[in-house]
Structure 1
Amino acid sequence: MIKSTTKKTIKIRIILTAGVLLAAAIAAVLIHHRLYVTAIRDIRIFNIPEEGYRLTRYGEEVKGAIAARVEADNELASRELRYESSDPEIVTVSEEGVLTAGKQGNAVVKVISVGNPSVSRELPVTVIQKAMSMQVALPEELPSNEYYYLIHRGDRVSFRALPEPADALVENLTYTSSRPSVASVSEDGEIRAYKGGTSLISVYWVSPYTPEGQKVLVGEFWVNVCRKTDHDSLAYHELQWYEESCLIAHALGNAGDYKYTNTRDALEESISEGFKVIEVDLAMTSDKEVVCRHNWKKDTFDVSYDGRIPDLATFEKEKYFGTLTTLTARGLLEIWAEHPELYFITDVKQDENTDLPEVIEHFVALAREMGQEKLLERLIVQLYNAEDYDKINAIYPMKHWLFTFYQLPKTDEAEEAAAKYSKEMNFGAFTVPVKWKRTGYFTGLAEDYKMNLFVHVVDEPAELRKYMKRGIYGFYTDYWSPKKLQEMRENGEN
């Protein structure tokens, strides 16, 4: 009986001892938790702006440090922190709390107490990518030629910004129009057209590195507001030859350093240089064959028949300056058939040896004989007087015409009558020699009759720009070309 009581006593003591030890252990855990965990009350951030961190980067790497500290009730609690980014592509954060900007965007950086992970702070971070360079573009669907974009009064056309890098912030762009009465441009780059004509839209940009008070020209865009009044939208517009190109290769273009040659060499060079519209001088040989020739009187190309009209065989046999190959109307049509996208403008000198309707009659007959009549749909007949229109139209119903003024009496009455006639016949354009130096009068005449004005001949880019600013739309040229223009643009020279 005594032994049984002793065993029970021992068990009770063991239980009591275990309870004491457990209580002590629990107390120790609680004390530890209080001293090292719950004592950590907060994380204090010293340098966070109200709107959060903003890291503005250019091309270089951008960093920013988070100044943070653990707030605790005693000195025993851990002050260690760790950092997490919600989107490392936008911002990364090091073990020391250093932020490194990535791509543009918004992310959240979480600052966490290592001693008490339930204590944390979330910091919004915005990465702003400033553009290193800027370009702008108009919609690709707009018809365009070497210089002009075609727009209409009923269309709203907006510029598209192309920063580098592509995700960079677009800002500090300004727009101006040389003729706001024709087409204005809003602060956000929307063009609004009011009447037919041309205008130069210039786009400027202030970059992160632009000196204060200055701005950089990042683009110039010539717009041509459709002058026709029978429709108000590009969707209903039939593109005209003069809208496809405002540069015309004069006399088939240059052949190296030679001009006015109308040779095969000149034509092949013009095609390679990207011309869409090419003027050709047509004349007739003594045996009534149509050939490509300026005239028989004044051209001196170092051939035996200079100053005389040769027969076809003689014309074909001899080379200009010993190197350039002459071109007949048959040869022209053969080359044209290989490039049916081209337009050709006729120039037939009206003198005692040459008659425009007669030359056109022979040319049409030849095209039919060769099975190339379809090419005549892209032939532009240069007209010198109203009387020849009906004669030529009786030969073939030509689709395109261009009235040239250089054979008219140099009077305001004759010129205004020609412009009015061109308008009534829906030619769309007329042309005058640039050497007449009456550009103000002729641009006014073109505007009054809602026509496009071409001048001949201009070869220097600076001259083209000067005349364009005066309202002249297009140019005949000997040495300038679409290819050279493109090269200048690519080199940043335009």
Structure 2
Amino acid sequence: MRKKWPYFILLIILILAIFIGLIFYHNKSNSLPQQTEGFKAHHMIAHAMGGISGQPYTNSYEAFIANYEKGTRVFEADFLLSTDDDLIARHEWGESFTKMMGQEDGLQPERYGAVLKSAEFKAAKIMGRYEPMNWDDVLDLMEDYPDMYLVTDTKQITPEEIDRIFTKIVDGAKQRNPEILERIVPQIYNHPMWDQIQAIYPFESMIFTLYQTHESDEEVINFAKEKGLAAITMSEARANKKLVSELNKLGILSYVHTINDVKKVQNFKNMGVYGFYTDFLTEADGTRSWWRNYLGL
């Protein structure tokens, strides 16, 4: 039996060497250095303020609180203009969405599919209990939680609508505390939108989301490089290793939306993706080591 010990020790050493090699390989596969400043210090972005009690898309106060308490610090919010020109946090109009949000009791049936006034929107509790938010409510959060970052998802994108929306965003933040603007990250959907928003306020960071464009990867990379974009976000279908790798070489972060599965997170991280828009995952889920995922820890 004693003669077999050297072989056993060699086997243990070999297994450890393979394990260390795998760790090195997986760490090296994401060539983008860890970011440490601003919203880039975080890997997860709460989609529509994050999900609450299994319900996505609420953009509600309670969803923010629930996900902030889980450690999330970067929040995406959807914005629309009401009929009386108030900026409100809602994903879309329409009867089906009103029913999805469980707002029937707060509205008359003929208003389920209508574009709402601000007061109507605020009065119709989401799922009968969650508080809808307008821009003033979001600014309250940004004042009360100075480590919160906001990514905008403006659902109306004509040039006239963008002017109105971002003028409201900028003017409202300046009236409260101009430093809030340093924690707002506009999300753009086309090239002209970058120049238009920069003319309203020179935001330090912008994200280009690809779901409304048919540009080639090369066109996306050239635009990101030319404008010095902070990040590119893309769907699962659009994400590919070559695009992500080229963005990493430029120091531009890549995000994938909307991901609620830790296995998918790991697969995209292996591709080099930096972060994720999510309804239900936490910051810890986005930073967990591959081997812990593999072992189910």
TM category, shorter? 0.7 to 0.9
- Report which of the two structures shows the higher radius of gyration computed on alpha carbons: 1
How far, CA to CA, are the matches of 1:420 and 1:179 in structure 2? 31
Q: Which residue of 1 aligns with 2:30?
A: 198
Asked if residue 395 in structure 1 is aligned to residue 203 in structure 2, the reply is: no
**1:355 alignment partner, SS class:** helix
Post-superposition offset of 1:348:
0.6
Cα separation, partners in 2 of 1:354 and 1:395, compared to 1, 3 Å: closer
Task: Kindly report the root-mean-square deviation, in angstroms, between the aligned alpha carbons of the 2 structures.
Answer: 3.1
Q: Which residue of 2 aligns with 1:474?
A: 275
Q: Which residue of 2 aligns with 1:462?
A: 263
How far, CA to CA, are the matches of 2:85 and 2:242 in structure 1? 40
**1:225 alignment partner, SS class:** coil
Asked if residue 375 in structure 1 is aligned to residue 172 in structure 2, the reply is: no
Post-superposition offset of 1:486:
8.6
How far, CA to CA, are the matches of 2:232 and 2:285 in structure 1? 25
Query: Which has the larger helix fraction?
Result: 2
Amino acid at match of 1:474: G
How far, CA to CA, are the matches of 1:368 and 1:402 in structure 2? 22
How far, CA to CA, are the matches of 1:329 and 1:343 in structure 2? 14
Q: Which residue of 2 aligns with 1:431?
A: 233
Within 5 Å, give how 1:21-170 maps onto structure 2. none
How far, CA to CA, are the matches of 1:428 and 1:417 in structure 2? 16
Cα separation, partners in 2 of 1:487 and 1:396, compared to 1, 3 Å: closer
Of 16, 19, 33 in structure 2, the residue corresponding to residue 225 of structure 1 is 33
How far, CA to CA, are the matches of 1:258 and 1:388 in structure 2? 31
Q: Which residue of 2 aligns with 1:212?
A: none
Kept in 2: contact 1:429–1:451 (CA 8 A)? yes
Give the gaps of 5 or more residues in structure 2.
1-14
Kept in 2: contact 1:283–1:354 (CA 8 A)? no
Q: Which residue of 1 aligns with 2:3?
A: none
Kept in 2: contact 1:250–1:477 (CA 8 A)? yes
How far, CA to CA, are the matches of 2:43 and 2:266 in structure 1? 13
Cα separation, partners in 2 of 1:290 and 1:276, compared to 1, 3 Å: same
Moved more, 257-266 or 353-362: 353-362
How far, CA to CA, are the matches of 1:425 and 1:240 in structure 2? 19
Kept in 2: contact 1:364–1:396 (CA 8 A)? yes
Q: Which residue of 2 aligns with 1:265?
A: 62
**2:30 alignment partner, SS class:** strand
Amino acid at match of 1:384: Y
Cα separation, partners in 2 of 1:310 and 1:385, compared to 1, 3 Å: same
Cα separation, partners in 2 of 1:246 and 1:266, compared to 1, 3 Å: same
Post-superposition offset of 1:267:
0.8
Amino acid at match of 1:431: T
Moved more, 476-485 or 374-383: 476-485
**2:260 alignment partner, SS class:** coil
Give TM-score scaled by structure 2 length.
Answer: 0.80
Asked if residue 327 in structure 1 is aligned to residue 172 in structure 2, the reply is: no
Post-superposition offset of 1:469:
1.1
Post-superposition offset of 1:448:
5.7
Cα separation, partners in 2 of 1:282 and 1:374, compared to 1, 3 Å: same
Asked if residue 417 in structure 1 is aligned to residue 223 in structure 2, the reply is: no
**1:248 alignment partner, SS class:** strand
Q: Which residue of 1 aligns with 2:212?
A: 407
Q: Which residue of 2 aligns with 1:357?
A: 163
Of 319, 326, 337 in structure 1, the residue corresponding to residue 143 of structure 2 is 337
Cα separation, partners in 2 of 1:437 and 1:352, compared to 1, 3 Å: closer
Asked if residue 314 in structure 1 is aligned to residue 120 in structure 2, the reply is: yes
**1:400 alignment partner, SS class:** coil
Kept in 2: contact 1:253–1:479 (CA 8 A)? yes
**1:278 alignment partner, SS class:** strand
**2:21 alignment partner, SS class:** strand
Q: Which residue of 1 aligns with 2:52?
A: 255
Post-superposition offset of 1:445:
4.3
How far, CA to CA, are the matches of 1:420 and 1:240 in structure 2? 24
Kept in 2: contact 1:416–1:445 (CA 8 A)? no
Cα separation, partners in 2 of 1:448 and 1:320, compared to 1, 3 Å: same
**1:394 alignment partner, SS class:** helix
Kept in 1: contact 2:44–2:286 (CA 8 A)? no
Q: Which residue of 1 aligns with 2:21?
A: 176
Cα-to-partner distance string for 1:203-241 (whole Å, 9 max, x where unaligned):
xxxxxxxxxxxxxxxxxxxxx436xxxxxxxxxxx8443
Cα separation, partners in 2 of 1:353 and 1:266, compared to 1, 3 Å: farther
Amino acid at match of 1:198: N
Q: Which residue of 2 aligns with 1:299?
A: 97
Amino acid at match of 1:291: I
Cα-to-partner distance string for 1:106-140 (whole Å, 9 max, x where unaligned):
xxxxxxxxxxxxxxxxxxxxxxxxxxxxxxxxxxx
Cα separation, partners in 2 of 1:302 and 1:181, compared to 1, 3 Å: closer
Post-superposition offset of 1:325:
1.1
Instruction: Give % identity.
Output: 24
Amino acid at match of 2:187: Q
Aligned residues: 271
Q: Which residue of 2 aligns with 1:97?
A: none
Give TM-score scaled by structure 1 length.
Answer: 0.50
How far, CA to CA, are the matches of 1:467 and 1:485 in structure 2? 11
Give the gaps of 5 or more residues in structure 1.
1-171, 184-196, 200-223, 227-237
Cα separation, partners in 2 of 1:351 and 1:302, compared to 1, 3 Å: farther
**1:299 alignment partner, SS class:** helix
Query: Which has the larger strand fraction?
Result: 1
Cα-to-partner distance string for 1:409-456 (whole Å, 9 max, x where unaligned):
2x42xx42232111222223201112x254235324424644221010
